[in-house]
Structure 1
Amino acid sequence: MGKATGFMEYTRQTIPERNPSERTKDWDEYTLPMSDEEAKKQGARCMDCGVPTCHTGMELNGVTTGCPVYHLIPEWNDLVYRGQWKEALDKEHEMNNFPEFTGFACPAPCEGACVLGINEPPVAIRSVEKSIIEKGFAEGWVQPNPPKQRTGKRVAVVGSGPAGLAAADQLNKAGHSVSVFERADRLGGLLTYGIPEMKLPYAVVKRRIDILEAEGIEFFTNTEVGKDVTSEQLKSDFDATILCGGATVHRDVPAENNDLKGIHYAMDFLHANTKSLLDSKLEDGEYISAKDKNVLVIGGGDTGTDCIATSLRHECKSLVQFDIYDKKAPARDMMINPWPQYPIIHRIEYGQKEAEAVFGDDPRAYAVMTKKFVGDDDGNVKEVHTVNVSLRYDEEGNKIREEIPGSEKVWPVDLVLVAIGFKGPEQGLIEQMNVETKTNSTVRAQFDDYRTNVEGVFAAGDMRRGQSLIVWAINEGRGAARECDRFLMGETKLP
């Protein structure tokens, strides 16, 4: 590293944020650019580790740690410190087709595995990553680079989320003609309609898709494979198909009366809001409004946070978020959560910061289980009944939640947003194509091979592995493209 003592001289700084009270009044990006000088300092904190673990993604204790796309993190940290931004951008793109998607919306498992993080705040890897790619676009360095020749092979990619886009990009680079089918009216999958505008602006997704299109990839929106295009058409028109349709079957809250009006899945809420926002700046009214409502968000993850931030911008009346888990400690306990496991600690995300700025307190209630919903005479939800729970594990390691007597509570609500994840992929197309699935309904295809039981059909991303991270989707899209290329050509040069 150019600054061997940088980690001792500079403190950790992440990308700055706009004032929480002010940013809830608009839909603009909630962060601000990091200055070049600050990014250099953050790059200088990288330690030149003997065995860096930030760049190697793995699952420890059931949670991802390290970077699943094997980002060349120490290399581009050093290049940023030296002011070699274009070279840093090239290093970013070597392993990650879309560093802007991860720079904006990845939970940064790389930072959890940072060696410096053993006893100091880790390197601000995601902040440096985002700074590199944003500078690359600002300077005009990110330009279309179509393949010089074509192979004559045609590949269909089903789904335009991060897995589908990564697969399409890699296959196009190999010279194949790629067609991407998306059933929504805009491309990007959950990048577009699952992450709200202030967190990942659609313009960021669109500018990358414009480049992919200029490089020769064909995109078809409002086209659902299995309905508008049949599996037989794919088989006759294409030499191979990669399924990247995601895991979009919602989990329900196992509580009485969970079908009352006013109870919605988080993704339905977020999708409708973003579509209306992009179509008409919400003027068409074609969205689920939280305005003047007592809002309950069930689920403590990133999607729940996005629902909080969206509800605040609607000017909700009140806000609470249920988390089934106990409140976590503010610092890692090395005895039960040792490095390089991802640190399981209490975090205050952008939505909670905004809620505290608007209402004066963090909206989360911990170790809360929903027991039943109660409606009014018109079938609208009006209250939710809960109980607090304690968690223990049985001899086989299974989670057992026990209700705490006397902790029952009734909460007034007008709008409930369910953000507890997904069960797996939809089965219609899978069944139509006679693709085998595993017991959890995901497509049966070996990791790092991605072939299904059907000749010429591959699967990647959440459709294969189940609900996961953007960065795993990119990893799998790249891997499926590599194996698809091998199938088509007998060998491959794709990484």
Structure 2
Amino acid sequence: MGKPTGFMEYSREKVGERNPRTRQNDWKEYTVPFSDEKLRIQGARCMDCSIPFCHTGMEIQGATSGCPIHNLIPEWNDLVYRGRWKEALDRLLKTNNFPEFTGRVCPAPCEGSCTLAISDPAVTIKNIEQAIIDKGFENGWITPRIPKLRTGKKVAIIGSGPAGLAAADQLNQAGHSVTVYERADRPGGLLMYGIPNMKLEKEVVERRVRLLTQEGIDFVTNTEVGKDITASELQTQFDAVILCTGAQKQRDLVIEGREAKGIHFAMDYLTLATKSLLDSNFEDGQFINVEDKDVIVIGGGDTGADCVATALRQKAKSVVQFGKHPQLPGQRTSDNLWPAYPNVFTMDYAYKEAEAKFGDDPRQYSIQTKKIVADENGNLKELHTIQMEKLKDEEGRYYFKEIPGTEKVWPAQFVFIAIGFEGTEQPLLRQFGVKEVNQKVAARYGEFKTNVEGVFAAGDARRGQSLIVWAINEGREVAQEVEKYLMV
């Protein structure tokens, strides 16, 4: 490495953020880029650790550890330290089709397994990754790579999220003709409509789609396979089909009062907000407006946090987020050792914003909603909750127990359900005739073949709700298997 003692000399710097109080007034990205000099110093902290667990991409304790797309992290950290940005970009693009996405929205399991993180704060891998690709676009280093030869083989990809885009990119570069079908009006899947603009500005997604289009990929939007075009028609027109439809069947809340008006799935809320922003800057009114309302988000994950941030920008009267688990510890516990993903307390961008506006972190822990109450017109009025205690039985299994006397009534006019996804939507799978397991497409990892000849599956549709880096991993891997199938 260029600076063998850099990790001893330099401290980790957090990425810059715009003021949490003022950024709530717009929908622009909340982060502020590092200067080149700061990036150079942060790159110098990479340790030359001999065995870089940061790019291993394995699962430990049920969570991802290291980078599933096996980014060559120490190599491009060193190149950034040396100021060799173009070479750093070349190394980054060897493994990652879309660093501009992962550098913004990936939870960075690579940092959790950084060797330096055994005793010190990890290297700022995610921020350096974003800086490399952003500099590549700024300097005109990213240009269309148009394949010189075409094989005559045609592939249909259903779904334009990160898995579908990665598969399309790989197969197109191999010379096959690729058509991507998307039922929404814009390509990008959850990148476009599932992640708010303040985390991933949509021009970043649109820029990549434009580039892929210039390289020869066809995008067909406003087209739902199974309705607007049948599965059999695709199988007749194309040599192979890849299902990258995601796991968009949202898990519902089964509870008394669920039918009250004002209760929505989180993804519906986020999708409508982003679409209205892009279509008309909210002039069309085609979104769920929570201005001056009491909002409760049920579910403690990233999607719930995005709902909090969106509600703040809509000037909600109050915003609270319910989570069933206790607050995480400030440091790794004895059963959460490196290089497993660090289950520690953090302040996401949305919570900093809520704290800046209301004075408190909006999260409520170990809480269970007992019932929902509507007014005489059927409109949501309030939620009744109770605190829970997380206990361990004699066999070491965890369970939750209600704490008597902790009942509480919360005023609410809107509730957003963000408790995860059950699996992929079933009608399309049945039309293709592919086998399912646990509401996912049955296809072995590494092969990605379904039981139907010429039909493959990848991403969340195959593995269930997961990380963007796993989606890209599977998109790249399924492309390799389809390539073998086509060229036999």
> Which TM class, normalised by the smaller chain length?
over 0.9
For the residue of structure 2 that corresponds to 1:155, the secondary structure is: strand
For the residue of structure 2 that corresponds to 1:149, the secondary structure is: coil
Letter in 2 for 1:441: Q
For the residue of structure 2 that corresponds to 1:24, the secondary structure is: helix
Residue in structure 2 matched with residue 467 of structure 1 by the alignment: 465
Mapped to 2, the partners of 1:431 and 1:222 lie a distance apart of 21
For the residue of structure 2 that corresponds to 1:474, the secondary structure is: helix
Mapped to 1, the partners of 2:447 and 2:62 lie a distance apart of 22
Correspondence list, 1:440-455, <5 A: 440-455=438-453
For the residue of structure 1 that corresponds to 2:297, the secondary structure is: strand
Residue in structure 2 matched with residue 299 of structure 1 by the alignment: 299
Gaps of 5+ in 1: 491-495
The root-mean-square deviation of aligned C-alpha atoms, in Å, is 0.9
Mapped to 1, the partners of 2:59 and 2:392 lie a distance apart of 21
For the residue of structure 1 that corresponds to 2:87, the secondary structure is: helix
Residue in structure 1 matched with residue 79 of structure 2 by the alignment: 79
Residue in structure 2 matched with residue 242 of structure 1 by the alignment: 242
- 1:346-392 Cα offsets, whole Å, 9 max, x none, are 11000000000011110111000111100001111110011111223
Alignment of 1:485 onto 2:488? no
For the residue of structure 1 that corresponds to 2:22, the secondary structure is: helix
Over 3 Å counting, the alpha-carbon distance change for 1:198 and 1:164 in structure 2 is same
Residue in structure 2 matched with residue 180 of structure 1 by the alignment: 180
Correspondence list, 1:246-325, <5 A: 246-325=246-325
1:254 deviates by: 2.6
Mapped to 2, the partners of 1:403 and 1:350 lie a distance apart of 31
Residue in structure 1 matched with residue 381 of structure 2 by the alignment: 382
1:398 deviates by: 5.0
For the residue of structure 2 that corresponds to 1:319, the secondary structure is: strand
Letter in 1 for 2:149: Q
Mapped to 2, the partners of 1:27 and 1:328 lie a distance apart of 29
TM-score by length of 2: 0.99
Residue in structure 2 matched with residue 153 of structure 1 by the alignment: 153
For the residue of structure 2 that corresponds to 1:464, the secondary structure is: helix
Mapped to 2, the partners of 1:161 and 1:396 lie a distance apart of 41
Residue in structure 1 matched with residue 192 of structure 2 by the alignment: 192
Letter in 2 for 1:61: Q
For the residue of structure 1 that corresponds to 2:440, the secondary structure is: coil
Letter in 2 for 1:419: A
Letter in 1 for 2:407: E
Alignment of 1:431 onto 2:399? no
Mapped to 1, the partners of 2:366 and 2:68 lie a distance apart of 31
1:258 deviates by: 1.2
Mapped to 2, the partners of 1:149 and 1:302 lie a distance apart of 42
Alignment of 1:417 onto 2:416? yes
1:14 deviates by: 2.9
Letter in 1 for 2:348: E
Identity rate, percent: 60
1:128 deviates by: 0.4
- 1:133-177 Cα offsets, whole Å, 9 max, x none, are 111111111110011100000000000000000000000011000
Residue in structure 1 matched with residue 405 of structure 2 by the alignment: 406
For the residue of structure 1 that corresponds to 2:326, the secondary structure is: coil
Residue in structure 2 matched with residue 348 of structure 1 by the alignment: 347
Letter in 2 for 1:458: F
Mapped to 2, the partners of 1:15 and 1:484 lie a distance apart of 39
Over 3 Å counting, the alpha-carbon distance change for 1:269 and 1:396 in structure 2 is farther
Residue in structure 2 matched with residue 493 of structure 1 by the alignment: none
Mapped to 1, the partners of 2:192 and 2:201 lie a distance apart of 8
For the residue of structure 1 that corresponds to 2:388, the secondary structure is: strand
For the residue of structure 2 that corresponds to 1:191, the secondary structure is: helix
Over 3 Å counting, the alpha-carbon distance change for 1:486 and 1:393 in structure 2 is farther
For the residue of structure 2 that corresponds to 1:80, the secondary structure is: helix
Mapped to 2, the partners of 1:384 and 1:314 lie a distance apart of 22
Mapped to 2, the partners of 1:41 and 1:106 lie a distance apart of 22
Residue in structure 2 matched with residue 362 of structure 1 by the alignment: 361
For the residue of structure 1 that corresponds to 2:320, the secondary structure is: strand
Mapped to 2, the partners of 1:384 and 1:356 lie a distance apart of 22
Residue in structure 1 matched with residue 371 of structure 2 by the alignment: 372
Mapped to 2, the partners of 1:355 and 1:487 lie a distance apart of 51
Gaps of 5+ in 2: none
Alignment of 1:24 onto 2:24? yes
Mapped to 1, the partners of 2:184 and 2:308 lie a distance apart of 24
For the residue of structure 2 that corresponds to 1:20, the secondary structure is: coil
Over 3 Å counting, the alpha-carbon distance change for 1:123 and 1:230 in structure 2 is same
